[in-house]
Amino acid sequence: MLSLRGLDVRYGRAQVLTNVDLEVGQGQVVALLGRNGAGKSTLLRTVMGLLHASAGQVAFDGRDLRGQEPYRICRSGLGYVPEDRRVFTRLTVAENLDAGRLPPRPGLPEWTPRRLYEIFPNLAEIRDRPGGQISGGEQQMLTIARTLMGNPAAVLLDEPSEGLAPRIVGQMTRMIGALKEHGLSILLAEQNLRFASQVAEQVYVIETGRILWHGAMADFLADADLQRSYLWV
Ligand SMILES: Nc1ncnc2c1ncn2[C@@H]1O[C@H](COP(=O)(O)OP(=O)(O)OP(=O)(O)O)[C@@H](O)[C@H]1O
Ligand SMILES: [Mg+2]
């Protein structure tokens, strides 16, 4: 579905990603785990065409994404939820959802506000409130729901659990489970292993811009030494 090969990315003279290979299969939930500054957001931004790789390939659904404009990448069925929650503060929750609407994609379920409210019941309750007057957790949910209104085949989520109250993290976990059931492919950048372990089946560990380990989440969880050596020293 999404395939990265030998990706190098630099900011000026600083090399931030080095020779990154990564695969997200159809319907898979894949976690990209790494500390602050490891290069997670840079990787997602490169896939979306917001940064340009100096070497390597990015393919989505068999098509080469290099050099394409971000809006075209988005229209080709790749949804992106960046780290900072960008809701339209003056529009209501319902209007924010409408703003994300794109035509349905053949072979995939079409998202409607009604279906999204089933997955995000708390958004249904606040549908008439302006985006600027809801909590950070609700804004995070709304940003994801608005992205789904574009009927993507795959979504990139940048630290969706960050800064959320534990109760909201539980909702986020159930929501990602529901998206997986709908056949979406998901790449999740995370620092929160507990959250990632509840939703992802594959793991890539990134440190200083290199993929250091890749395998099944179950194998990662079973190996405490592995976790210590890469994440929690
Ligand atoms: N616009 C920029 N110009 C120069 N360097 C940058 C820029 N943005 C990020 N970097 C550097 O690139 C590296 C990777 O940053 P990135 O934001 O991708 O990390 P991250 O894994 O998403 O971290 P976090 O968990 O804090 O979000 C860091 O060393 C960071 O300082
Ligand atoms: Mg980041």
**Does any ligand 1 atom lie closer than 6 A to the CB of residue 161?**
no
pLDDT single digits (tens) 8-65: 999 998 999 999 999 999 999 999 999 999 999 999 999 999 999 999 999 999 999 9
pLDDT given at position 183 = 87
pLDDT single digits (tens) 126-181: 999 999 999 988 999 999 999 999 999 999 999 998 888 887 888 889 889 988 98
**Does any ligand 1 atom lie closer than 6 A to the CB of residue 109?**
no
CA distance 99 to 199: 28
Closest approach atom of ligand 1 to CA 45: 18
Domain that holds residue 67: 2-230
Nearest ligand atom owner, CA of 35: 1
Mean per-residue pLDDT, 215-225: 94
Count CB-CB contacts under 10 A for residue 233.
6
pLDDT single digits (tens) 84-118: 878 999 999 999 999 999 888 887 778 999 999 98
pLDDT given at position 84 = 85
**For the chain, how far is it from start to end, CA to CA, in angstroms?**
34
pLDDT given at position 232 = 59
Residue 149's nearest CA partner among 96, 215, 197 is: 96
Supply the residue whose CA is at minimum distance from atom 14 of ligand 1: 39
Mean per-residue pLDDT, 191-202: 94
- What domain count does the chain have? 1
What is residue 75's three-state secondary structure?
helix
**CATH number of the structural domain spanning residue 112:** 3.40.50.300
Residue 233 — very low, low, confident or very high, per pLDDT cuts 50/70/90?
A: very low
CB 146 within 8 A of CB 99: yes
pLDDT given at position 205 = 96
Supply the residue whose CA is at minimum distance from atom 31 of ligand 1: 37
Supply the residue whose CA is at minimum distance from atom 27 of ligand 1: 36
Which of the listed ranges 119-123, 161-165, 216-220 does the model predict with the highest average pLDDT? 216-220
